[in-house]
């Protein structure tokens, strides 16, 4: 009973947080990897690539793919203007976005990219590549659960985590596709198309165009 009340209280607090942001004109949404697949969530995400396997569990969304496969979800709009999932929840017009997500990665090859977060504003993009042993090419163990926060502000990216603190900052944008949206998943793959396994688990992903302190779960 105590656990049920605690969970109910958390979701009530989270709902108030989202409503308060919305009332202030902020775009805010959350994906809970333990409740549904991204394409079945509210708001829904779109498949950009569907080459791996995905399932939900008590820990969150788990995706398994080889380095010759891409498995990527997106919300917003493609460079052709086509909608990705529910594009109305994505807003980069203020020039600020904060994405917080809880993740862990697996790969036998520590240099193999496992997970990537991509933020696009329509003209440029910021990317956060993660291997089992690095975040944005900084050596870190990502095989244990950690909560990461990526912030784009004034054209610069900074990334931090609960376990490691500040990881990188002042990273400039890259010339990107014209798509305006948020993407995550198994993205980069090697041209030799080998079959090295990689997997990642995502407990949640939260996004807002105003700063917030994310409660951990």
The answer on pLDDT for 12 being more than 50 is no
- The model's pLDDT over 163-215, given as tens digits with 9 standing for 90+, comes to 999 999 999 998 877 789 999 999 876 655 568 899 999 999 999 988 766 54
- The model's pLDDT over 52-101, given as tens digits with 9 standing for 90+, comes to 899 998 999 999 998 888 899 999 999 888 999 999 999 888 889 999 99
pTM beyond 0.75: yes
- Decide if 107 contacts 98 (C-beta within 8 A): no
Nearest Cα residue to 49 out of 30, 74, 67: 74
pLDDT band, very low/low/confident/very high, at 33 (cuts 50, 70, 90): very high
- Gap between the Cα atoms of 176 and 83, Å rounded: 18
pLDDT at 139: 96
Q: Which CATH architecture group holds 27-208?
A: Sandwich (2.60)
pLDDT band, very low/low/confident/very high, at 6 (cuts 50, 70, 90): very low
Least confident of 16-25, 39-48, 198-207: 16-25
Quickly count helices (H) and strands (E) in the chain: 1, 17
**What ranges do the domains of the chain cover?**
27-208
């Amino acid at each position: 009973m105590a656990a049920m009340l605690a969970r109910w209280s958390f979701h009530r607090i989270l709902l108030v947080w989202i409503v308060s942001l919305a009332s202030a004109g902020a775009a805010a949404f959350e994906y809970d990897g333990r409740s549904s697949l991204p394409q079945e969530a509210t708001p829904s995400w779109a498949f950009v690539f569907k080459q791996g396997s995905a399932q939900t569990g008590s820990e969150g969304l788990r995706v398994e793919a080889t380095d010759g496969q891409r498995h990527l979800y997106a919300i917003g709009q493609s460079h052709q203007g086509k909608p990705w999932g529910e594009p109305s929840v994505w807003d980069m017009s203020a020039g600020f976005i904060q994405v917080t997500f809880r993740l862990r990665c697996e790969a036998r090859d520590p240099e193999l990219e496992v997970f990537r977060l991509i933020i696009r504003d329509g003209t440029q993009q910021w990317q956060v590549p993660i291997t089992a042993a690095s975040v944005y090419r900084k050596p870190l163990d990502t095989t244990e659960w950690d909560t990461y926060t990526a912030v784009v502000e004034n054209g610069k990216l900074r990334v931090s985590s609960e376990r490691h603190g500040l990881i990188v900052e002042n990273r400039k944008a890259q010339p990107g596709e014209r798509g305006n949206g948020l993407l995550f998943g198994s993205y980069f793959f090697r041209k030799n198309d080998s079959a090295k396994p990689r997997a990642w688990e995502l407990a949640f992903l939260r996004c807002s165009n105003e700063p917030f302190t994310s409660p951990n779960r």
